[in-house]
Amino acid sequence: MTNQAQQIRALDDDLRKHLNGGSAVMTPGIAALGQEAIDRIVETIAVYDDFCHANDPWEEHDFGEFEAEGEKIFFKIDYYDKTLIYHSTDPADPSVTERVITIMLAEEY
Q: In the predicted model, what is the mean pLDDT of residues 77-90?
A: 97
pLDDT digits (tens, 9 = 90+) for 49-79: 999 999 999 999 999 999 999 999 999 999 9
What span, in angstroms and rounded, lies between the C-alpha atoms of 96 and 100?
A: 13
Q: What pLDDT score does 1 carry?
A: 81
pLDDT digits (tens, 9 = 90+) for 16-42: 999 999 999 999 999 999 999 999 999
pTM of the model: 0.94
| H-state helical runs in 1-109 | 3-18, 28-31, 35-47
Domain ranges of the chain: 3-108
> Cα 42–76–101 angle (5° rounding)?
60
What span, in angstroms and rounded, lies between the C-alpha atoms of 71 and 101?
A: 19
pLDDT digits (tens, 9 = 90+) for 3-22: 999 999 999 999 999 999 99
